Amino acid sequence: MLNFQTFLASALTAVVALITVSTDTKKIENRAAETEEKQRRFEVNRKIREEEEYRKKEHDKKSEHREAEYRNKIEKFMTEKDKLIAEKDKALEEKDKYFEEYRKMREEKEELNRKLYEEHQLFEKILRKMQSMAMMQLIQNSGDESMKKLCLEFTKI
């Protein structure tokens, strides 16, 4: 019986050892599977990060390209705006120049008209003076025919 008990104890020990080995094997397999899963997740996450970085770089490149285009367009518009402002300023200067010339010509015309008016007034004054002198002469020398004709001529004027 001792042999049977020994055998049974050995068998139980072997079964326990097999269960332990089986459990340890499952733990090792589970650990290996977990490690593989972790590596797979790590690779997937790494690929996702790489893809996100690539997309971000592409987006940044496109943004920089768009910004460069916008800057170029803005520079072109500003250049055109400066040209138009320069043309406008030039046109305003010409307008001011022509208005200044017009003002001077108008002032010269007014001055000329004023002088003509003054000369006309002076001429009329001299003419009236001559008429009055002729009348006085006519009255004083009523006997002289040539003087009378001269006085009559002045009075006709």
- Mean pLDDT per block of 10 residues along the chain (157 residues) reads 68 69 64 78 90 93 93 95 95 94 96 96 90 73 69 64
Q: What is the pLDDT of residue 141?
A: 66
**What pLDDT does residue 34 have?**
75
Query: Residue 18 falls within a domain, yes or no?
Result: no
Overall domain count for the chain: 1
Lookup: tokens for 131: 């008429």
- Please report, in angstroms and rounded to a whole number, the separation of the first and last CA atoms in the chain: 184
Q: At what angle do helices 2-140 and 145-156 cross, to 10 degrees?
A: 160
Q: For residue 63, what are its two tokens? A: 């943004």
Task: Decide if 2 is inside a domain.
Answer: no
Q: How is residue 67 written in tokens?
A: 């910004």
CA distance 17 to 13: 6
In this prediction, residue 154 carries a pLDDT of: 64
What's the CA gap between 64 and 35, in Å, rounded? 42
Which residues constitute the domain of residue 102? 25-156
